[in-house]
Amino acid sequence: MKVVEVSKIAELKIFNSEVMKEKKTNEVVGTDELPTTVRATIGDTEVEFTPAFTDYSMEHPKKKDALLKNAEADKRMDVIFHFATPEVFWNEGVTLYDRSGKSISKDTPNVLVACDMADTYWRLFLDEVLTNVQIHEFESVQEYAQAIGNSMLLSRSLSNVEKIGYAALATGNEAYKEVFEFAKRNNVPMNTAQLYLDLKLKPATTQLMMLGKEPKMVPTLGRTPEMAQKLYEQNTMTFSKGGATKRYAIRVENSLLKNQKYSFDELMNALKTIPANEIALAELQGCAEKEMCIMETLTSWMIKTKRQELEKNAA
């Protein structure tokens, strides 16, 4: 893999500004179409070219307005935009396409093949002018693919829990902070933490809040962190650590509480007193839905204990 020195880029004869001017003059862009070219600063020169893609490239949705319109350029860190010279692709019979999906003829000037990188995926057509551009000359398409594979192997995006954490950090939102802290403290998935705290966080809202923007509808907790922790710890004893981490038990418990047939204290008492063999039997039963098994077993026990309590008080 060879990185082309800035001083030698002109020798490759990639860029032809006159052809680009002629293309822009004759081009008619529809209202629903997006530009297929980008501008970039390479050395001391600003150039315009068409990023090319192959059938193996990461897909580029043509519309992502809901997410991208809120991104602020002055709050983005610098990244390196990687491109490859197109000749090796054409020579090996690999078809190149522009952003709109139109094939690019061999030897078309002002074309560079985009190298798929996690941190430049959206920014390729979002940044007004690309800076920190590197152009690579690969000996083969296979070498190009290997370079991307080895680079992307060491890349990863934020986990769901980490996204919640950054949303809390960027906005100071208490509900998000509590979900993040609950998930980290108990080592449970983000969805499980939401269930214990009795709220639902939407992915679009989380993305917006990661940008530091508060949504119109601010998420609020349906249960205090103390009650959520108390319920979780009891579930680890009643259903085991694994059972408490999964969604089945807590979804059943939320349903029982929302029906308002039982109070939180009555639920906690049932979880403390239900025999272990009842829980084991519920997990072994051949119910079509696991939640239904837990619901039937837990409800049956709560009815039984409530009846016993009434009989005791009446005696």
What is the β-pairing status of strands 45-52 and 111-114? parallel
Does residue 308 surpass a pLDDT of 50?
yes
Q: What is the mean pLDDT of residues 209-238?
A: 94
233 band by pLDDT with thresholds 50, 70 and 90: very high
Residue 35: what pLDDT? 84
Residue indicated by tokens 């239900």: 274
CA-based R_g, the chain, Å: 29
For the chain, give the longest Cα–Cα distance.
100
Q: For the ranges 10-14, 55-59, 75-79, 307-311, which has the lowest average pLDDT? A: 10-14
Residue 65: what pLDDT? 63
pLDDT digits over 177-202, tens only? 999 999 999 999 999 999 999 999 99
Domains in the chain: boundaries: 2-152, 159-222, 224-315
Residue 283: what pLDDT? 67
How confident is the prediction for the chain on average, in pLDDT? 88
Residue 120: what pLDDT? 92
Between 79 and 17, where is the model more confident?
A: 79
pLDDT digits over 101-127, tens only? 999 999 999 999 999 999 998 899 889
Between 287 and 309, where is the model more confident?
A: 309
Q: What is the mean pLDDT of residues 277-297?
A: 76
Does residue 25 surpass a pLDDT of 50?
no
Residue 31: what pLDDT? 39
5 band by pLDDT with thresholds 50, 70 and 90: confident
Count of CB atoms situated within 10 Å of the CB of 248? 18
26 band by pLDDT with thresholds 50, 70 and 90: very low
Give one DSSP letter per residue of the chain, joined into a string.
-EEPPGGGGGGGT---HHHHHHHHHH----TT-----EEEEETTEEEEEEEEB-TTSPP--S--HHHHTT--GGGPPP-PEEEE-SHHHHHTT---B-TTS-B--TT-SSEEEEPP-TTTTTTTTTSSSB-SEEEEE-SSHHHHHHHHHHHHTT--PPPHHHHHHHHHHHH--HHHHHHHHHHHHHT--HHHHHHHHT----HHHHHHHHTT---SS----SS-HHHHHHHHHHHHHHHHHHHHHSHHHHHHHHHHHHTTSS-HHHHHHHHHHS-HHHHHHHHHS--SSHHHHHHHHHHHHHHHHHHHHHHHHH-
Under DSSP, the state recorded for 120 is: T
Residue 11: what pLDDT? 65
Task: Using DSSP, state whether 83 is helix, strand or coil.
Answer: strand
Residue 54: what pLDDT? 97
Judge whether 68 and 126 are in contact, CB under 8 Å: yes
Q: For the ranges 25-39, 43-57, 64-78, 234-248, which has the lowest average pLDDT? A: 25-39
Judge whether 126 and 155 are in contact, CB under 8 Å: no
pLDDT digits over 141-158, tens only? 999 999 999 999 998 899
Helix axes 225-245, 174-186, angle to 10 degrees: 40
Between 5 and 53, where is the model more confident?
A: 53
Q: What is the mean pLDDT of residues 65-69?
A: 69
Residue 16: what pLDDT? 78
Task: For the chain, give the percent of residues with pLDDT over 70.
Answer: 87
Give the whole-angstrom CA distance, residue 265 versus residue 180.
26
Residue 28: what pLDDT? 43
